[in-house]
Structure 1
Amino acid sequence: MSVALRAGLIGAGMMGRHHARVLRQIGGVDLVGVADPAGDPHGVAGTSTFHDSLQGLIDQGIDMAAVAVPTAFHEQVGLALAEAGIHALIEKPVAGSLEGGRRLADAFESRGLVGAVGHIERFNPALQSLRSRLANGDLGDVYQVATRRQGPFPSRIADVGVVKDLATHDIDLTAWLCQSQFTSVFGQCAHKSGRPHEDLVAFSGRLADGTVTNHLVNWLSPFKERQTIVTGTRGTFVADTLTADLTFFENATIATTWDAVSAFRGVAEGNVTRFALEKREPLVLEHEAFRDAILGGIDRTVSLRDGLQTLLVAEAAIQSADTHQVVDPRTLLSTPIGATP
């Protein structure tokens, strides 16, 4: 019988509670310790050993860790784990700065460790099914990806704005669905809640494959919405990641023998199909992928390098909003994402 991986959790807040629950749920993993210098008022540690410092958790001896601390501490905690030879799943965004994200990616890759970032939407059943259908050519050519992600302000988020906290979901899932990176971004931000960071962003983009994208993200709506709309030759897929539902609106193209209009490729309302999907919790799927990668299986994690690419586009959106100019994300780093300075 194989020995379970010894897991630790850094951060006992709201996300930490979810990570602890899942780490206790999946097979092959034993949550042995939790660390948080702010204490454990919600009892996240449970029967696991609680530490008031990261070093205490490292000294306990762990193989892997989930990092659910504020973004400002991602780099510090991640580098300490890498130095100790511990695999890490770090909540998104990967870091607070591009330089920090690059240092994290380099640290884990240079040591042969699994470093993953928690872009959990890739593990949503609706988007996983959509990704497979796009890869299978079910939509034909992809023309546009539009996302809407809005809801009330989460009071626990204080160190980053809505672009890095929420919009990074849409940046990552869009590039992943299309298997193509952003080459231009134009954004508009607003500050309406009296905080130092933006709480609303609307930005458009273009991917390297020509796909046009549009994203609406805010913390100002009294209702919660998580929707991804992908339009292509054969119709439109609509994924609701709150309910993990995927619906296909078929393009019933009407044939014509009239030469004067035959060159125009129009669309018409066709069949609507809502797919029956197996709906497992995305966080469970994310942790299972992390565990499997550590054990040498197929790596289905979102790499720290992927997280850095997403952060690059987020920074471009913020810069575009500040300058009112279109920004090519690739110009924000002196060397490419995949290169080490």
Structure 2
Amino acid sequence: MANLRAGLIGLGMMGRHHARVLDSLEGVDLVAVADPGGDRFGAAPSYPVLRSVEELISCGLDYCMVAVPTGSHEEVALALASAGVHALVEKPLSHDVDSATRIAEAFETENLVGGVGHIERYNASLQQARMRVENGDLGEIFQISTRRQGPFPGRIADVGVVKDLGTHDIDITSWISGQEYKAVSSQTVHKSGRDHEDLVAILGSMSRGAVTSHLVNWLSPLKERTIAITGERGTFVADTLTADLTYFANGKVQTMWDEISRFRGVSEGDVVRYAFPKPEPLRVEHENFRDAILGKQNDIVSFRRGLKTVQVAEAVLESANQGVTVSIQSPPHVG
């Protein structure tokens, strides 16, 4: 069977990593790249750099990786759909719900595979967490709490921290818990002098009773990527920077020594840091999308699921702007 012919548009900070993976992905030939600004990072020195998605399409692609700025996702994705080219689009799917809906509908109409690059799903720590949650290791899920913070990235200009970083946590929380967001209440902060928010604190309620909290910002010198999943049997803590997953079991052993009980509590449970393989998340993401095109078993983030994430992100911003809790209605065909 011939290799799939892939293209890449966008050679910025993420595009250069996509180029590296696509250039070595089994079963795929990267045949062309495009960026109107050229290849400033030297991401694809072996390829001529085209200027537009139309030039890229003319190379005869099976699918295309879209790594252009968020505000350009719709234009590029609709051109690919019109040409019958499958697409993997960097997260978020688009800058607003209307645009994301048009993308999803265009790919459905043409019966094309569309995926959103929510890369955190492919982090080994979260893959393990989801598998263990599905196996019932924590029992009922009570809460998912995330902290995602670090210095401001100068490359982001067209969206704020909610749609750039917060969409990771929105997607992860729904995916791991198997629940949809029912409502969100949030507060944002603007400190960098840009039009968009730099910090957001979110409280959410989920469809089967779980509670969520997300702290996301570009204002901290501390880079942190942690997800704590608390259930009736204990807590999983995933660190996606190290891909570690640690299990804190509920206390079962009574603490007999009073001095210890003052800082460890009246009982203790086991603490286990799991050992498992840790492949590069971006490569796993691309392998899954390749397999989706080939009709093999896969775990991609569909455009409809990406649309749902954008919808929740917009509800977060509405809540902060209006000072109210915002209920969220599910769009049709979420998958």
Q: Normalising to structure 2: TM-score of the pair?
A: 0.94
Contact 1:309 1:337 in 2 (8 A): yes
The answer for unaligned runs of 5 or more in structure 2 is: 255-264
- Indicate the residue corresponding to 1:258 in structure 2: none
- Indicate the residue corresponding to 2:165 in structure 1: 166
- Indicate the residue corresponding to 1:337 in structure 2: 331
Structure 1: 4+ residue segments shifted above 4 A: none
- Indicate the residue corresponding to 1:38 in structure 2: 37
1:109 is aligned to 2:108: yes
- Indicate the residue corresponding to 2:152 in structure 1: 153
- Indicate the residue corresponding to 2:262 in structure 1: none
Question: Pairwise CA RMSD of aligned residues?
Answer: 1.5
**What is the CA distance between 1:109 and its match in structure 2?**
1.4
1:324 is aligned to 2:328: no
In structure 2, give the amino acid aligned to 1:42: F
Distance 1:70 1:103 in 2: 17
Percentage of pairs with the same residue? 58
Contact 1:68 1:91 in 2 (8 A): yes
Contact 2:244 2:274 in 1 (8 A): yes
**What is the CA distance between 1:316 and its match in structure 2?**
0.5
* Cα displacement string for residues 119-155 of structure 1 (whole angstroms, at most 9, x for unaligned residues): 1111010000000000000001110000000000000
**What is the CA distance between 1:43 and its match in structure 2?**
2.3
In structure 2, give the amino acid aligned to 1:136: N
Contact 1:248 1:272 in 2 (8 A): yes
**What is the CA distance between 1:112 and its match in structure 2?**
1.3
1:55 is aligned to 2:54: yes
Shift in CA distance, 254/76, structure 1 to aligned 2, threshold 3 Å: same
**What is the CA distance between 1:267 and its match in structure 2?**
8.7
* Cα displacement string for residues 50-94 of structure 1 (whole angstroms, at most 9, x for unaligned residues): 211111111111111100000000011000001111110000010
Distance 1:134 1:239 in 2: 13
- Indicate the residue corresponding to 1:229 in structure 2: 228
- Give runs of aligned pairs for residues 123-142 of structure 1, distance below 5 A: 123-142=122-141
In structure 2, give the amino acid aligned to 1:297: K
Is the partner of 1:14 in helix, strand or coil? coil
- Indicate the residue corresponding to 2:69 in structure 1: 70
Distance 2:327 2:24 in 1: 42
Contact 1:32 1:49 in 2 (8 A): no
**Number of aligned pairs?**
324
Q: Normalising to structure 1: TM-score of the pair?
A: 0.93
- Give runs of aligned pairs for residues 295-310 of structure 1, distance below 5 A: 295-310=294-309
**What is the CA distance between 1:253 and its match in structure 2?**
4.0
Distance 2:185 2:25 in 1: 41
**What is the CA distance between 1:45 and its match in structure 2?**
2.5
**What is the CA distance between 1:203 and its match in structure 2?**
0.6
